[in-house]
Structure 1
Amino acid sequence: MSQIIILDGQNLTIDDIEKVAKFDFKIEIKPDALEKVKKGRQRIFDLVDSDIPVYGFNTGVGWNKDKKVFKDFFNKYNTNLIYSHSLGVEPFCSREEGRAILLTRLNTFLVGCTGVAVEIVEIYKKLLNLDIIPLIPKRGSVGEADITNLSHIGLVLIGEGEVYYNNEIRNSKEVFDEISLEMISLGPKDGLAIVSSNALAAGIGALILKDIERLLDLADVVYCLSLEGLNGNTSPLDIDLYKARNYIGQKISLKNVTNLLKNSSIYNADWKKPVQDPLCFRGSVQVNGAVRDALRYCLELFNIQLNSSEDNPCLLLDENKLLSCSNYESISWVLGFENLGVALSHLSKNSCYRTIKLSNPEFTKLPRFLSPKDNVLGYATIQKVFTSLDTEIRHLSNPATADFYSLAGDIEDHANNTPYVVDKLKKIVDNLYYILGIEAMHAVQAIDLRTDCILGSGSEKAYEKIRERVPFYDEDRPIYKDIRTMYDLVKSEKFIHEILNTN
């Protein structure tokens, strides 16, 4: 029996989006949500003969807002709107990203403020359930609704776009004809309903936020291994310190760390230890916790995006209004994404410094570069790799929301580059999987060289899983293979899940 997500326009989560995007959950729509869409559509038809100008309904869009659209030309105008806005630039979204985008927009249709044809809502659901996923370019949007990209979904609906189907890229009309799926004839407001949304950035952004949740757990795991590899101090892990400070994110990371280090010999008194470790070790719970706080702030705003109207004009059924507005403005939640990029740059720097310290005998009392013998170079050159990736993160974390032009005859004089912000964050996360993977390689090597280390119940599980894939560095070998292996391992949801559920 297929697993199902029921949409109502009010309760979509990033967990739901991941299930549909990555694990092919099917979609159902709550009947009262669909009824709201039908009522909204009827209200649009009631307005067809109105002489009141409404942006994007019976007028043009952008600089062409002063041009009237007559009811006899609604289909032609809305089709032309799709054509003229189909401007996206490669690369294309993956199949998984396309599924997340479709789902995100489908749910905001159900808020009931769009006035879109019920047939369009139904075909979005069918595309997901039949796994016919539009080929959507990633670039070309300035973020005030992803109009230049989502228009490519419109091309698919009228039989002129391309789709992923059965592991092939095919013309949508051919696929529709093959499975007897009707194409869409666009009516009043339909074109704008399809293109005027932040679903491109929001759909991909949801998947990234899920990745960051796992990445933060990974960061706690790798820190524990490194602390044991260093034979570091545990005084910064005293719970009373965090009661005095009272940051929520720090407490979550502390709980992870103390559970992972349970029964570790690192807690044993050792007068040979320095009084304090470097800040990259001493303050890791604080830094990891700060990213957790940034994520929580971002999620609070992002969940509003997923379950609210982003339509212009906005149909307010209860108030009997169709109003020009800026509900597509994403600045509230995209600032949260910018903040996450900066926060993750601190986590990255911390990881890099811990890795450098693990190769330094001044801190570890172990051989230089964690080499097991004099004629083995060990991790002598790898520092160039992870620091170069961190340099990329440093630049990717620079804000991009403030860099925009005034467009469309100076009417559209604000933007925020939301898809680019989301794409930057995705690259930051990907680089961090490499950086944390490389740190974990150093940590387990240091643990092996230490010989007398008794690992915590959770960190031991992590150590074992790493050593199953990457052997002890006893002779020089091409390390790039180990780097890739570690990247694949630490990125695995199974790796983190099994370690954190050890106790």
Structure 2
Amino acid sequence: SPHVVVIALGAGCLALRAMTAQSYTPSDTTMSDQTITLNGHDLTIEQIVNVARHGAQVQLSADARQRELDNYGLLLEATAEGVSVYWFNRGTGDNRETVLFSGDALSAENKPRVERLQSESFQRGARAGFGPEVMEEEIVRAMMVVRANAMTYNAPSPQLSQMLLDLLNRRVTPVVQSRGTVGEGDLAQLSNVAGVMVGAGEAYYRGVRTPALKALAQAGLQPIQPFAADDNALTSSNAYATGQAALIVYDARRALEWADLIYAMDLNGMNSSITPLSTVVQLDRPGGWLNWDAARVLDMIKGSYLFDADPKRIIQDPESLRASSIRQAAAWEEWSALRDAVLFQANSSDHNPAVHVGLGPQDSWELATAQMMKYYVKGGPHSHGQHGYIVSNANWDPYPLANKLENFVIALANMDVAVMLRIERFRNTFFTVVAPSDVLPHWVRHDSGYMPSDLQQEIQSLMNPVAPFGSALETTVEDLQAQTRIKAQRARQAVSVTADLLGLDLLEASLWLDVRRIQDPKRHFGSAATGAWLAFRKVVPLEGDPAKGSTESKQMSAAAFVKGTPASMFYAGTSPPGVGE
């Protein structure tokens, strides 16, 4: 009945509102006085983070802006020469052979039609995707800066290119839906950005939600008139996944730095044998990342009492402590592979079609064949005489990035099981020789109980890869999916939960440093371990609450410390191979 339909629709609306009920997390503006120049070649992870999280400004290099203009001119010239261009004068998906218009896009007949088609497409963009909404401004800004950088290889109109920069610099952040992409081009999320550009939908202006048209006005901007193939130029990209992957790489590095430092503290706390890190052992297994991590942890405990003779020190620790450097080195290696995949993705074109000015039939044998010459633009007034090719492709298939996200989560889970187990081993006096209560008479048990196992099981649930799958979408034209939305979300969750688990490890390690120092006040733990321990104790004291009036547990305070305090404050050491200081 009509009443049933109304009730069902009402329930659906309530459900969608519930999905977006969480509060919005705006980015800060601590780096808004910095300007990052995008050239399409060398955008770094740190620069993406600075724009996404800290409000750094962006501009195009002169070469990048000219490359866009040249590509745009070639695109317009293609229509004048009668060259078929996917998603411009021809349709998209299963409409790829549909002729949208014939002849010069700038002709008196075609120009109004092209403007109308583009305006309608951008307007529809505000309704694309499916909730819940993205509630972290940094994710949307990361997507936008990645797209602005890689779009320099494509053919946006000048007004589209500039508006994307303006939205970032004026801090107009579109409301973006989190779902609706299968990983072969994040069309829905970038379409949400398109909507805001023409004043449709909603946006956050400096963190405050408002209708898009009002947000643009507050920022001193006017809606654009998109043209040519602007909907294609903006949305044909995996920038939503790539931007999130950049944030993952940044946060994961901080987590892995803490994993090494807390491991150094654990070794001190357990009164461990340091032989697994020694040159003797490393020479037997000459692996770059294995040796690098062992040397790094060894350097962290340099000067520690662990290098002094101690008749009470057992000959061999539990395997979770002995093998931690190996597991951490393996995680670092997969982190490095993920970092490289993200940088490749962010600094190359994942766009369809490919536009390349300057190539001619003489440059490669296949370019002179009849098939390729169908897509050759000879050059004319719109391209200022420049020639080139515009061809369809599969560049938006986001590999190797999609694989590397999953590989890293698997490596992280294999590291985290060692972290969880070494926390548990501190409860066994066979390894510790003494119990905390033997040394700390007023010690109140802070046992993390089931928490380490619970967190490890959560991480374990994220490590199984998403099964490769293909749905024959768009009447079987688009029949591959990469699921990068799911893979990136899982990886982000795995990194966050790993930091939580490391917080519990830090709490345990710090307790045992207290024990070892009280056992013998002359003991040293190495400058890095000592610095982290003392800083942590200022926030989470051995006895009493973490802070006066705090309702937060010591475990949660420890996790917050790990997430909010870089381990590099206590140990600079050497950066991972291939990474600057």
TM-score > 0.5, shorter chain as reference: yes
SS at match of 1:331: coil
Picking from 484, 503, 511, the partner of 1:418 is 484
Equivalent pair of 1:18/1:100 in contact (CA under 8 Å) = yes
1:255 aligned residue: 295
Picking from 38, 41, 45, the partner of 2:69 is 38
Q: Does 1:468 align with 2:510?
A: no
**Higher deviation after alignment, 267-276 or 27-36:** 267-276
1:461–1:376 CA distance, 2 compared to 1 (3 A):
closer
Q: Unaligned regions of 5+ residues in structure 2, if any?
A: 1-31, 360-387, 575-581
| Map 1:183-202 → 2, pairs under 5 A | 183-202=223-242
1:203 aligned residue: 243
1:178–1:234 CA distance, 2 compared to 1 (3 A):
closer
Picking from 172, 181, 199, the partner of 2:212 is 172
Equivalent pair of 1:311/1:327 in contact (CA under 8 Å) = yes
When Rg is computed on C-alpha atoms for both structures, the one with the higher figure is 2
Question: What TM-score, normalized by structure 2, do the two folds share?
Answer: 0.81
2:562 aligned residue: 490
**Higher deviation after alignment, 364-373 or 226-235:** 364-373
Equivalent pair of 1:232/1:266 in contact (CA under 8 Å) = yes
**Higher deviation after alignment, 434-443 or 246-255:** 246-255
Q: Does 1:392 align with 2:458?
A: yes
Alpha-carbon distance between aligned partners in 1 of 2:34 and 2:115, rounded to the nearest angstrom:
37
| Equivalent position amino acid for 1:97 in 2 | I
1:137 aligned residue: 177
Picking from 131, 139, 142, the partner of 1:100 is 142
Percent identity of equivalent pairs: 24
SS at match of 1:164: strand
1:429 aligned residue: 495
Q: Does 1:53 align with 2:84?
A: yes
Shift of 1:375: 9.5
Please list the CA deviations of residues 61-98 of structure 1 after superposition, one character each: whole Å capped at 9, or x if unmatched: 22222322125332333344441671232131411222
Shift of 1:35: 0.7
Question: What TM-score, normalized by structure 1, do the two folds share?
Answer: 0.93
Q: Does 1:321 align with 2:389?
A: yes
Alpha-carbon distance between aligned partners in 2 of 1:151 and 1:378, rounded to the nearest angstrom:
50
Shift of 1:278: 1.4
Shift of 1:356: 0.4
2:514 aligned residue: 448
SS at match of 2:413: helix
Equivalent pair of 2:331/2:408 in contact (CA under 8 Å) = yes
Alpha-carbon distance between aligned partners in 1 of 2:135 and 2:478, rounded to the nearest angstrom:
26
Q: Does 1:18 align with 2:49?
A: yes
Shift of 1:31: 0.8
Alpha-carbon distance between aligned partners in 1 of 2:494 and 2:339, rounded to the nearest angstrom:
18
Shift of 1:57: 1.4
Equivalent pair of 1:405/1:413 in contact (CA under 8 Å) = yes
Equivalent pair of 1:342/1:398 in contact (CA under 8 Å) = yes
| Equivalent position amino acid for 1:366 in 2 | V
SS at match of 1:304: helix
Equivalent pair of 2:471/2:481 in contact (CA under 8 Å) = yes
2:434 aligned residue: 366
**Higher deviation after alignment, 130-139 or 68-77:** 68-77
1:157 aligned residue: 197
Equivalent pair of 1:370/1:446 in contact (CA under 8 Å) = no
| Map 1:271-420 → 2, pairs under 5 A | 271-319=311-359, 320-367=388-435, 372=440, 376-379=444-447, 382-400=448-466, 402-420=468-486
SS at match of 1:395: helix
Alpha-carbon distance between aligned partners in 2 of 1:292 and 1:269, rounded to the nearest angstrom:
32
In the alignment of these two chains, the number of paired residues is 498
SS at match of 2:355: strand
Equivalent pair of 1:370/1:378 in contact (CA under 8 Å) = no
Shift of 1:21: 1.6
| Equivalent position amino acid for 1:357 in 2 | R
Shift of 1:326: 0.6
Alpha-carbon distance between aligned partners in 1 of 2:340 and 2:188, rounded to the nearest angstrom:
28
Shift of 1:474: 7.5
SS at match of 1:500: coil
Alpha-carbon distance between aligned partners in 2 of 1:267 and 1:479, rounded to the nearest angstrom:
40
Alpha-carbon distance between aligned partners in 1 of 2:292 and 2:86, rounded to the nearest angstrom:
48
Alpha-carbon distance between aligned partners in 1 of 2:443 and 2:300, rounded to the nearest angstrom:
35
Alpha-carbon distance between aligned partners in 2 of 1:55 and 1:261, rounded to the nearest angstrom:
60
| Equivalent position amino acid for 1:26 in 2 | Q
Q: Does 1:116 align with 2:116?
A: no
Alpha-carbon distance between aligned partners in 2 of 1:240 and 1:35, rounded to the nearest angstrom:
57
**Higher deviation after alignment, 162-171 or 413-422:** 162-171
SS at match of 1:454: coil
Shift of 1:347: 1.3
Alpha-carbon distance between aligned partners in 2 of 1:492 and 1:374, rounded to the nearest angstrom:
30
Q: Unaligned regions of 5+ residues in structure 1, if any?
A: none
Alpha-carbon distance between aligned partners in 1 of 2:117 and 2:515, rounded to the nearest angstrom:
71
SS at match of 2:400: helix
Please list the CA deviations of residues 91-149 of structure 1 after superposition, one character each: whole Å capped at 9, or x if unmatched: 31411222211110000011x2x211111111111111111122222222110011111
Shift of 1:155: 0.4
Alpha-carbon distance between aligned partners in 2 of 1:169 and 1:371, rounded to the nearest angstrom:
56
Alpha-carbon distance between aligned partners in 2 of 1:475 and 1:303, rounded to the nearest angstrom:
43
Equivalent pair of 1:361/1:368 in contact (CA under 8 Å) = no
Please list the CA deviations of residues 28-83 of structure 1 after superposition, one character each: whole Å capped at 9, or x if unmatched: 21112101111111111112245443221122222222322125332333344441
Alpha-carbon distance between aligned partners in 2 of 1:367 and 1:40, rounded to the nearest angstrom:
70
Shift of 1:192: 1.3
Equivalent pair of 1:314/1:325 in contact (CA under 8 Å) = yes
Equivalent pair of 1:88/1:137 in contact (CA under 8 Å) = yes
Equivalent pair of 2:444/2:543 in contact (CA under 8 Å) = no
| Equivalent position amino acid for 1:358 in 2 | F
**Higher deviation after alignment, 57-66 or 80-89:** 80-89
Equivalent pair of 1:359/1:370 in contact (CA under 8 Å) = no
| Equivalent position amino acid for 1:350 in 2 | A
Alpha-carbon distance between aligned partners in 2 of 1:375 and 1:122, rounded to the nearest angstrom:
61
Alpha-carbon distance between aligned partners in 2 of 1:410 and 1:229, rounded to the nearest angstrom:
60
Shift of 1:372: 4.6
Equivalent pair of 1:202/1:306 in contact (CA under 8 Å) = yes
2:5 aligned residue: none
1:251–1:24 CA distance, 2 compared to 1 (3 A):
farther
Equivalent pair of 1:142/1:415 in contact (CA under 8 Å) = yes
Alpha-carbon distance between aligned partners in 1 of 2:189 and 2:467, rounded to the nearest angstrom:
19
Alpha-carbon distance between aligned partners in 1 of 2:488 and 2:98, rounded to the nearest angstrom:
34
Alpha-carbon distance between aligned partners in 2 of 1:152 and 1:369, rounded to the nearest angstrom:
59
**Higher deviation after alignment, 426-435 or 126-135:** 126-135
